[in-house]
Amino acid sequence: MTESNPRSRKRFTVDELFSDTRAQASGAKDLPGAKLIDLNRIHPDPAQPRRTFDPDKLEELASSIRAEGVLQPIVVRFDSEHDRYVIVHGERRWRAAKQAKLTSLPSIVKEVPVERRLVQQLMENVVRDDLNAIDRGAAIRALRSQMGDPTWDVVADAVGIKRSRLFQLLGTGKLSEAAREDIQAGRLSEKQSRALQGLTEARQHALKDLILSSNLSAQAAMRLSRAFKGMEVSPPDDLEAARRVLAQVSGFVFAKSDVQVQAQTRVLLGAVRNAATGSTKARGQLKSIVSTINAGAFRDDRFGHELNAFARTLATLPAVGAARSASVDASLRELAATVDALLGDRTTSADEP
């Protein structure tokens, strides 16, 4: 029997001896920073962009954690000065875990440089739908300050959003305190709030209340805002005066009652007659009114259908000399004047060659 040669024996490193050789280990590596950390050692970052947490959504997440546990670890950094872990990403999960009465939380420990912390938090939060626009805007301002006040283009590139979107978020910081609170509470959307920008505080308050009470869309709110800006409010800072003027503007823009429809018609016909003079200013005013009431572009087919409907109505009018309301006659005269203004010198008698 021959003795085996010791030199031919395969040698193993310590890592190989203790490595995971199971099938599921193929193509996978352990994370050296992954830990299960006691909740009482984890603290939120005071510089975290997120300032508000929806209680209902937080309870939903807490219920999910009670049932299934924490499905995604949070990211923390170690604060050696205070001997604690500080949250980089995942404060909402941490809050929900506390609410669910967990005692520890799966976490990944990362050393994140000071200058990158806010950027990383913003990258996670700014693009998320559940972070309100007020907190996003405040975080972007803080980021710019931390970056040494570069141009907004540089900030937009760092966060990864378009420049136009960045300024929309920044604009929320100029809103009244009441409007900002409604955005943070989820009562007012950021898109709806754009209609408030550029208005005085009294006008903002009046329009915000109407948006919420009438559940106006962002587009309808913007149309109303454009018309509201051109109206005089006296005294300028009086909320009740702003509400009265806004009620008049709203009646014109949306024209629901018979009186409001008649008023809108008179304004439109007058604007058409003025624009027919060729005045650049008058044409601009007509264009603004058309946009405000969302009249849409002219179409031959629509004109034909609506003219037919009007002709049918005219056919049922009482004959000349019969009882006919003064308001109907006044409307017909105003319509005739508008048609004459549109046709101008092109109008000719049917008997003329």
On whether the CB atoms of residues 317 and 324 are closer than 8 A, the answer is yes
**Could you read off the pLDDT of 286-311 as tens digits, one per residue?**
998 888 888 888 999 999 999 999 99
Which of the listed residues 92, 112, 132 is the one where a domain comes to its end? Answer: 112
- Distances in Å between the Cα of 15 and the Cα atoms of 23, 30, 164 are 17, 13, 53
Report if residue 61 sits inside a domain: yes
132 and 191 share one domain:
no
- DSSP secondary structure code for residue 147 in this structure: T
Question: Does position 353 have pLDDT exceeding 60, yes or no?
Answer: no
Question: Does position 50 have pLDDT exceeding 80, yes or no?
Answer: no
Question: What is the full DSSP assignment across 236-303?
Answer: TT-HHHHHHHHHHHHHHHH--SHHHHHHHHHHHHHHHHHHTTT-HHHHHHHHHHHHHTT-----HHHH
Report if residue 346 sits inside a domain: no
Which of the listed residues 64, 93, 112 is the one where a domain comes to its end? Answer: 112
Pairwise CA distance, residues 306 & 344, whole Å: 22
217 and 205 share one domain:
yes
89 and 151 share one domain:
no
On whether the CB atoms of residues 113 and 73 are closer than 8 A, the answer is no
Report if residue 5 sits inside a domain: no
37 and 97 share one domain:
yes
Pairwise CA distance, residues 146 & 18, whole Å: 45
266 and 248 share one domain:
no
Q: Mean pLDDT in the chain?
A: 84
68 and 135 share one domain:
no
36 and 108 share one domain:
yes
- Distances in Å between the Cα of 323 and the Cα atoms of 313, 327, 328, 336 are 16, 12, 11, 20
Q: Is 297 left (phi over 0), alpha (psi -120 to 50) or beta?
A: beta
89 and 51 share one domain:
yes
Identify the residue with better confidence: 147 or 165: 165
99 and 36 share one domain:
yes
pTM over 0.75: no
Pairwise CA distance, residues 312 & 199, whole Å: 45
Pairwise CA distance, residues 246 & 237, whole Å: 14
Q: What is the percent of the chain where pLDDT is above 90?
A: 44
Which residues have C-beta within 8 Å of that of residue 45, sequence separation ≥ 6? Answer: 86, 87, 88, 91, 117, 121
The pLDDT of residue 347? 47
Report if residue 25 sits inside a domain: no
On whether the CB atoms of residues 186 and 54 are closer than 8 A, the answer is yes
Report if residue 327 sits inside a domain: no
Domain count, the chain: 4
Report if residue 142 sits inside a domain: yes
52 and 103 share one domain:
yes
Report if residue 281 sits inside a domain: yes
On whether the CB atoms of residues 45 and 86 are closer than 8 A, the answer is yes
The pLDDT of residue 345? 57
Residue 122 binned pLDDT confidence (cut-offs 50, 70, 90): low
36 and 107 share one domain:
yes
40 and 90 share one domain:
yes
Which of the listed residues 151, 174, 197 is the one where a domain comes to its end? Answer: 174
**Mean pLDDT in residue range 271-275:** 92
On whether the CB atoms of residues 92 and 50 are closer than 8 A, the answer is yes
Determine the structural domain holding residue 63 and report its residue range: 31-112
Which residues have C-beta within 8 Å of that of residue 273, sequence separation ≥ 6? Answer: 337, 338, 341
Report if residue 232 sits inside a domain: yes
CATH number for 55: 3.90.1530.10
- Distances in Å between the Cα of 32 and the Cα atoms of 16, 24, 84, 351 are 17, 18, 18, 98
